[in-house]
Amino acid sequence: MKIAVLGTGYVGLVTAAGLSEFGHSVVGADKVAAKIEAIRRGRIPIYEPGLDELLESNLRKGTLSFSTDLAATVQAADVIFVCVGTPQGDDGSADMSQIEEVSRLIAENLNGYKVVVEKSTVPVKTSVRIKRTISLYNKTGAEFDVASNPEFLREGAAVPDFLEPDRIIIGVETDRARDLMFRIYDRFKDRILVTNIDTAELIKHASNSFLSMKISYINLMANLCERTEADVELVAKGMGLDPRIGPRFLKAGIGFGGSCFPKDIRALIRIGDDLGVDMSLLKETERVNQGRARIFIDKLKSALWILKDKKVGVLGLAFKPETDDVRAAPSIRIIQALLDEGACVRLHDPKAGDNMREFFPEDGVRTVYCSSPYQAAEGANALLCCTEWKEYAELDLARIRDLMVNPILVDGRNMFDPAAVSAQGLEYFSIGRR
């Protein structure tokens, strides 16, 4: 199969490399030429474990290449995977301008039958818009189909998620498109669920919003635990032992973030509102999430009282471990609140520091980036954990204590055993437990 992948961000790069690994001939293209040139030089613009190796081996085999010539890439392909961004618009709905732009590009280069695959996360009924746009700008009258194949990869585990997916959803409306999609994923025949396009589009938003709901639910329980003698870690464990509930996404903390959950839940709320469906359940999920940063900062204030001119170390900037992605990371809200209160922040992340500099540029006084967690702790009045990177779990807490002015650790991810931290002479605050 000759496949084009349009948009080489977090999803597009993994999709291009993964489809090429499945034996297809893939060209990845992006409108940001610098990105493509960097990839060609072997400099991958994102941090994703295992991606360098996967890209390199497929580039070497010659089944994968990258191009800045979007038109030629479309013309040469049988199937086009659309992996451009669908960021949150001002009104909460998904901003579909990148999808519209790509649809026009495809229309103008339609030189024969092609399947246009929505890989990006898009609102239900987007295929209708794509079809209309392609028809409007289609010069040749060549036939095409639109299919939906939502992506479920998790950043930080994107390569194994793509190479060994637990399900593949394919939304189609013709047998021709269905057959082509089956050829692409023929090694996973047993894991394919075929639906109509509206259903496939909705499955993605429904999945992400459900997982968000689980997180807000356990955070609500954490609030209850903090006012009782209950321990949220054990509440989650007890709940998770029920196979109807399952243990995953029951981790209390500072809330969900990233480029998907916050924007996807908002987009689904907006879709429901537009269709006249009561979306209160998801609105509350989002409201609980929004409140997490304030609850976390209040813990810090209960320890330090006034934050003005206090030095606060922040460990973890990425929205989750094993990624450099800081889009809608809870740490952003927390750092902003600290700066608003007049604190000085000492920031550390193993991978995401450079991306965070775009949100909070270093000024050497109020905002300082540190090369190690120990440097972040140096002279600090408190240390916050915002991302559960493995290396933080292995910190030498006695050394941390000695470096700090006030040995106070506020853990937004329940990474540490409270007794072990106290034994090292630190005052410890965590989420939903004592």
Ligand X SMILES: NC(=O)c1ccc[n+]([C@@H]2O[C@H](COP(=O)([O-])OP(=O)(O)OC[C@H]3O[C@@H](n4cnc5c(N)ncnc54)[C@H](O)[C@@H]3O)[C@@H](O)[C@H]2O)c1
| Site membership for ligand X, residue 133 (CB under 6 A) | no
- State both tokens at 350: 């193993």
- Pick the binder of ligand X from 26, 74, 80, 153 (CB under 6 A): 153
- Residue 81: CA atoms inside 13 Å, Cβ hemisphere, count? 34
Q: Which is nearer to ligand X, 81 or 296 (CB)?
A: 81
349 beta partners: none
Which of these segments, 94-102, 277-285, 353-361, 411-419, binds ligand X (CB under 6 A)?
94-102
| Site membership for ligand X, residue 28 (CB under 6 A) | no
382 beta partners: 312
Q: Which is nearer to ligand X, 12 or 432 (CB)?
A: 12
Contact 248, 215 (CB under 8 A): no
The minimum distance between CB 349 and ligand X, in angstroms, equals 18
CA 83 to chain centre: 14
- Pick the binder of ligand X from 3, 4, 11, 334 (CB under 6 A): 11
- Residue 252: CA atoms inside 13 Å, Cβ hemisphere, count? 26
| Site membership for ligand X, residue 161 (CB under 6 A) | no
| Site membership for ligand X, residue 30 (CB under 6 A) | yes
Neighbours of 4 (CB within 10 A): 27
Nearest to 133 by CA among 153, 110, 154, 111: 110
| Site membership for ligand X, residue 159 (CB under 6 A) | no
| Site membership for ligand X, residue 129 (CB under 6 A) | no
What is the Cα gyration radius of the chain?
23
| Per-state percent for the chain, helix, strand, coil, to nearest 5 | 45, 15, 40
- Pick the binder of ligand X from 145, 151, 201, 349 (CB under 6 A): 151
* 324 SS3 class: coil
Strands 114-118 and 144-148: parallel
Nearest to 81 by CA among 59, 114, 49, 38: 114
CA distance 142 to 126: 21
What amino acid is encoded at 52 in this protein? Answer: D
- Pick the binder of ligand X from 35, 114, 292, 401 (CB under 6 A): 35
CA distance 382 to 400: 10
Which of these segments, 6-14, 280-288, 293-301, 413-421, binds ligand X (CB under 6 A)?
6-14
Q: Which is nearer to ligand X, 205 or 401 (CB)?
A: 205
Place of tokens 């392909």: 77
DSSP secondary structure letters along 27-67: EEE-S-HHHHHHHHTT--SS--TTHHHHHHHHHHHTSEEEE
Q: Annotated active-site positions, please?
A: 260
The minimum distance between CB 128 and ligand X, in angstroms, equals 17
Count interface residues toward ligand X (CB under 6 A).
26
- Pick the binder of ligand X from 88, 93, 259, 355 (CB under 6 A): 259
The minimum distance between CB 422 and ligand X, in angstroms, equals 37
| Site membership for ligand X, residue 95 (CB under 6 A) | no
- Pick the binder of ligand X from 12, 123, 353, 432 (CB under 6 A): 12
Which of these segments, 10-18, 213-221, 224-232, 271-279, binds ligand X (CB under 6 A)?
10-18
- State both tokens at 139: 């010069």
The minimum distance between CB 204 and ligand X, in angstroms, equals 7
CA distance 426 to 421: 6
What is the footprint of ligand X within residues 342-401 (CB under 6 A)?
A: none
CA distance 294 to 296: 5
- Pick the binder of ligand X from 22, 25, 31, 129 (CB under 6 A): 31
Q: Which is nearer to ligand X, 32 or 405 (CB)?
A: 32
Which of these segments, 25-33, 177-185, 187-195, 336-344, binds ligand X (CB under 6 A)?
25-33
383 beta partners: 313, 409
Q: Which is nearer to ligand X, 35 or 299 (CB)?
A: 35
- Pick the binder of ligand X from 73, 93, 109, 120 (CB under 6 A): 120
Contact 347, 307 (CB under 8 A): no
Which of these segments, 147-155, 193-201, 348-356, 421-429, binds ligand X (CB under 6 A)?
147-155
- Pick the binder of ligand X from 23, 32, 40, 342 (CB under 6 A): 32
| Site membership for ligand X, residue 155 (CB under 6 A) | yes
Chain residues in the site for ligand X (CB under 6 A): 6-12, 30-32, 35, 70, 83-86, 98, 101-102, 120-121, 151, 153, 155, 259-260
